[in-house]
Structure 1
Amino acid sequence: MVPYVNMNMVRFNREEVRDILVSMVVIAGVFAYVFSGKNIQTALVLLPATLITVGLGFVLHEIAHKLMAIRYGFWAEYRLWLEGLLLALVTAYFGFVFAAPGAVYIHGNYIERDVNGKISLAGPLTNIILAIMFLMVSTVLPSPINQVAFLGYAVNSFLALFNLIPLAVLDGAKVFRWNPLIWLLAAAAAFGLTFNSML
């Protein structure tokens, strides 16, 4: 039986915290820029909202990977990918966002397929949970605050769906290799939430 995460084993060094914060601010910034119609002044107004919705979703997604890896006895640390951040900035200039700001790197002995699948599922599952929480909150908050919560719902739904695509280095490929049925259930939930956010 795998033990619960021992919080004494969870460490964030200075470089890791810096990388997480830089990634979070850049991701929130490019989404604010795109949502604003590429208007810098409007983007600055939107930035607090995207920090809460997009930035929080990104950070908790990565921390979920880290905690699940630590749960299985591995060393895990988030590392910024400069080229991915630059790609986010370039794509935002053209009016859309494609971002790969960094990832949690896991070190240790050979990672079994089921363990790797569970570690990979933790990120998208976190976004699904966040999406549902944001949706519930959006139904009870007054306007226009409820629109920020709905944005959190829509963005986290999409983040889950995108990361569950079973291609290349995305989480979905590892989850699918581990258990296609669990991948299908998670992907269906993410798709349903994303589709509903567009209605």
Structure 2
Amino acid sequence: MITFTRNEMRDLAIAFIVISIAFAISNVGLNVHGFISILPIVMVGAGIGCLLHELGQKYVAMKYGYQAEFKAWPLGLVIALATAFIGWVFAAPGSTQVYADNVSDEMNGKISIAGPMANMALALIFIAIASLAYPLKDHSMTLTLIYLICTVGFSVNSFLATFNLLPLYTLDGIKVLKWNIKYWIIIFAIAVIMLLTSISIGAENMVKLIISMSFIK
């Protein structure tokens, strides 16, 4: 059973809010009306993606018998908001701290990779739901909203997975790379393909492609 401290719940809530605001700003800039409109949509796609990333790592750590707690990184939160104004979010709101004297590179890698994989799984779930909602979205405001949330969720979580797998200090990628370079190459390559697909093709065109393929006999 996953348990949370009061401070951890506070930090998760802060990270959820700040990352959601940052991604909303990165999409609409200083357009207040656009910000208000897109924030609820981004809160589901980006905010939940951020939470599941950290909870995935916490779950794996606790599964192996370690005590783990998410701690917000104040500077990372400020950087996330600052970079949002240039249309690119430095999404490092904090990290899951594992309390143990000696954590091997293998264990550290397994814990770290759980976060990006949670984002990748969530991205695939989002694009699948978007494909189901798309044919009927013009007949229902609810389905239109679900479709918008899911397309944004796919793009944002593809970005979160790729960004966090970069082999840079403080990010998950460097820990996974130290553990197993083959696993890092495979997971990073898949994340990059997902991100480039969302950028080059676009989530809506992906949905149309998935729907057209589903009707191929």
Which has the larger Rg?
A: 2
Q: Contact 1:157–1:190 (CA<8 Å) still a contact in 2?
A: yes
The residue correspondences of 1:37-76 to structure 2 (distance < 5 A) are 37-76=29-68
Count of paired positions: 191
Q: Give the gaps of 5 or more residues in structure 1.
A: 1-6
Q: Give the gaps of 5 or more residues in structure 2.
A: 139-143, 202-217
- Tell me the residue number matched to 1:132: 124
Would you tell me which structure has more helix in proportion to its own residues?
A: 2
Q: Contact 2:91–2:160 (CA<8 Å) still a contact in 1?
A: no
Matched, 1:150 2:151: yes
> How far apart, CA to CA, are the structure 1 residues paired with 2:92 and 2:177?
21
SS of alignment partner, residue 154 of structure 2: helix
Matched, 1:111 2:111: no
Matched, 1:163 2:147: no
Q: Write the letter of the residue equivalent to 2:152.
A: L
SS of alignment partner, residue 166 of structure 2: coil
- Tell me the residue number matched to 1:4: none
Residue of structure 2 aligned with 1:96, choices 81, 88, 101: 88
Percent identical among aligned pairs is 39
1:190 Cα offset (Å): 0.5
Q: Write the letter of the residue equivalent to 1:177.
A: K
1:85 Cα offset (Å): 1.2
Report the TM-score, using the length of structure 2 for normalisation.
Answer: 0.84
1:39 Cα offset (Å): 1.0
1:33 Cα offset (Å): 1.6
- Please say which of residues 141-150 and 131-140 is displaced more in the overlay: 141-150
Report the TM-score, using the length of structure 1 for normalisation.
Answer: 0.91
Q: Contact 1:69–1:76 (CA<8 Å) still a contact in 2?
A: yes
SS of alignment partner, residue 140 of structure 1: helix
